[in-house]
Structure 1
Amino acid sequence: MSVTEIQELWSDRKRHLGLPLSFTKYTLREDKLIIDKGFLNLMQDEVRLYRILDVELLRPLGQRIFGVGTIRVHSSDRSLGDFEIQNVRNAARVKELLSEKVEEERQKKRVVSREYMDDDMDDDGVM
Structure 2
Amino acid sequence: MNDRNGNGVPDEIEQPEEEFEWKERKRLLFFGLPFTFTVYTLSPKKLELKTGFFTTVINDILLYRVMDTTLSRNLLQKLFGLGSVQVVSSDKTHPNLCVHNIRNARDFKEALDEQVERERLRMRFRTGEYIDNDGAETTEPFE
SS of the equivalent of 2:21 reads strand
Residue matched to 1:3: none
> Are residue 73 (structure 1) and residue 92 (structure 2) matched?
no
Match of 2:97 among 71, 83, 97: 83
| CA displacement, residues 57-108 of structure 1 (integer Å, 9 cap, x when unaligned) | 0011110001000000000111221110110000000100000000000111
Residues 1-127 of structure 1: pairs in structure 2 closer than 5 A? 7-16=19-28, 17=30, 18-117=32-131, 119-121=132-134
Give the total of aligned pairs.
117
User: Aligned AA for 2:55?
Assistant: N
| CA displacement, residues 32-81 of structure 1 (integer Å, 9 cap, x when unaligned) | 01000011121111001000011110011110001000000000111221
- Taking the aligned partners of 1:71 and 1:14, their CA distance within structure 2 comes to 11
Residue ranges of structure 1 left out of the alignment (5+ in a row): 1-5
Percent sequence identity is: 40
- Taking the aligned partners of 1:80 and 1:69, their CA distance within structure 2 comes to 19
- Taking the aligned partners of 1:25 and 1:7, their CA distance within structure 2 comes to 19
Q: TM-score, normalised by structure 1?
A: 0.86
Residue ranges of structure 2 left out of the alignment (5+ in a row): 1-17, 136-142
Q: Give the alignment's Cα RMSD to 1 decimal.
A: 1.8
- Taking the aligned partners of 1:36 and 1:96, their CA distance within structure 2 comes to 21
- Taking the aligned partners of 1:7 and 1:40, their CA distance within structure 2 comes to 30
TM-superposed CA distance for 1:109, in Å, is: 0.6
- Taking the aligned partners of 1:47 and 1:10, their CA distance within structure 2 comes to 15
SS of the equivalent of 1:46 reads strand
